[in-house]
């Protein structure tokens, strides 16, 4: 038990350090957002014909070297290409248009092609659709915990469950801030995975405590 307690203390201290460092980085540097959510610039080209993403990617690699670029087909007939990068200069735009014209035998005008500013998406706007489902799910789970483990003490059980959920998410957020993991399409699945794992771990811990409690009563 002493060895287990020592390990628990070490893990608790490590988690506390990770959260502290993560929070400092979060408030100084902020989170690292995927290009999709960053403030960026966009160029849209109406090709009027089918095209391959790989061909456009080759062009952007030449014109926008060392830049993360997002390429998407848009419009109903997917005959328009959207190119998003952190920064696109007029010279780069002109070069892209010329290379696309050469590749597909088009006559697109660089002067008529506009560079559009794409605003930054706030973190709260990304998670907003998931807040209510998370709250409802958590309330249901806490109600179950209260009924299932009432012998362990209602307040104690609820406090421990809420605490482990908060600490788990705070640790995840801190690790993402420290390691600079981009906030993107995998973020919400990662949050859900950590949420479920922390619940499984807490349930396992409470089950053991409940078994011990029943043995004492017998």
Q: What is the pLDDT along the chain (218 residues), one digit of tens a residue?
A: 445 577 778 888 899 999 999 999 988 988 888 888 888 889 888 887 777 788 889 888 888 888 888 888 876 667 788 889 888 889 988 998 888 888 888 888 888 888 888 888 777 888 888 889 999 999 999 999 988 888 888 888 899 999 999 999 999 999 999 999 888 888 889 999 999 999 999 999 888 888 887 777 76
Query: pTM, whole model, 2 decimals?
Result: 0.75
> Which residues have CB under 8 Å from 76's CB, separation 6+?
none
Q: Tokens representing 62? A: 């030449």
Q: What is the pLDDT of residue 138?
A: 92
36 touches 71 (CB < 8 A): no
Residue 102: what pLDDT?
86
Cβ neighbourhood burial of 43 (10 Å; 0-12, 13-18, 19+): buried
Q: What is the mean pLDDT of the chain?
A: 86
Please report the sign of the dihedral spanned by the C-alpha atoms of residue 55, residue 59, residue 65, residue 71: negative
Could you report the per-residue pLDDT of 162-198, keeping only the tens digit for each?
999 999 999 999 999 999 988 888 888 999 999 999 9
Task: Quote the pLDDT of residue 76.
Answer: 61
pLDDT of residue 2: 47
**pLDDT value for 142:** 92
pLDDT of 200 reads 92
Paired sense of beta strands 40-46 and 115-118, if any = antiparallel
Secondary structure of the chain in the HEC alphabet? Answer: CHHHHHHHHHHHHHHHHHHHHHHHHHHHCCCCECHHHCCEEEEEEECCCCCCHHHHHHHHHHHCCCCCEEEEEECCCCCEEEEEECCCCHHHHHHHHHHHHHHHCCCCCCCCCCEEEECCCCHHHHHHHHHHHHHHHHHHHHHHHHHHCHHHCHHHHHHHHHHHHHHHHHHHHHHHHHHCCCECCCHHHHHHHHHHHHHHHHHHHHHHHHHHHHHHHC
pLDDT at 1: 47
């Amino acid at each position: 038990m002493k060895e287990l307690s020592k390990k628990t203390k070490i893990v608790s201290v490590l988690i506390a350090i990770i959260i502290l460092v993560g929070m400092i980085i979060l408030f100084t540097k902020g989170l690292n957002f995927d290009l999709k959510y960053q403030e960026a610039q966009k160029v849209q080209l109406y090709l009027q014909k089918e095209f391959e993403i790989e061909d456009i990617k080759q062009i952007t690699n030449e014109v926008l070297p060392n830049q993360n670029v997002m390429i998407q087909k848009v419009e109903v007939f997917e005959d328009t290409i959207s190119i998003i990068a952190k920064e696109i200069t007029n010279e780069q735009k002109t070069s892209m248009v010329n290379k696309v014209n050469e590749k597909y035998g088009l006559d697109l005008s660089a002067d008529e092609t506009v560079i559009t500013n794409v605003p930054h998406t706030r973190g709260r706007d990304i998670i907003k659709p998931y807040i209510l489902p998370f709250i409802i799910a958590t309330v249901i789970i806490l109600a179950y915990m209260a009924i299932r483990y009432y012998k362990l003490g209602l307040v104690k059980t609820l406090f421990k469950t809420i605490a482990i959920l908060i600490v788990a998410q705070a640790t995840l957020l801190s690790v993402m801030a420290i390691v600079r993991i981009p906030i993107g399409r995998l973020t919400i699945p990662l949050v859900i995975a950590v949420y479920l794992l922390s619940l499984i771990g807490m349930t396992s811990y409470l089950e053991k405590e409940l078994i011990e409690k029943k043995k004492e009563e017998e």
